[in-house]
Amino acid sequence: MEIKKYTHYVQYYETDKMGITHHSNYVRWMEEARVDFLRQIGWDYARLEAEGIISPVVGVSCKYKHSTTFADTVTIEVKVAEYSGIKLRLSYTMTNEKGEVCCTGESEHCFVNEAGRIVMIKKDYPAFHEVLSSLIEKK
């Protein structure tokens, strides 16, 4: 399954007094890209919530490589870096129009039900498990 990349256009309000994108926005863009990624694989947040699945962030990291400014186009590629059936780790690569990597990052998620108990995706949601397993990044 080919995953399309997510595109974000840097907004003026996302920049600081120096005209550079504030560092906190890259984490927001990872969230936007993750939501879009889930939609692309057929498991958008509306579906997850309808199934009773909540996927909180348990960790996030970023490495800033190249600054962006207002009106830049940032393309974000999302990959499944690791998936255990209980936890999911996604990797993000953000590039500008010139193809320069601006930021790399990761987010880690677990899956819980509405009561806050861990959900075993492989056992309880085999169709979702199958999709995530098929997308694990090969090293």
Other beta carbons within 10 Å of 94 = 26
Which is nearest to 91 in space by CA: 73, 101, 78?
A: 78
The SS3 of residue 91 is strand
Catalytic position from the list 16, 36, 44, 72: 16
Q: SS3 for 40?
A: helix
CA distance 69 to 98: 13
Active-site residue 44, yes or no?
A: no
Residues with a catalytic annotation lie at 16
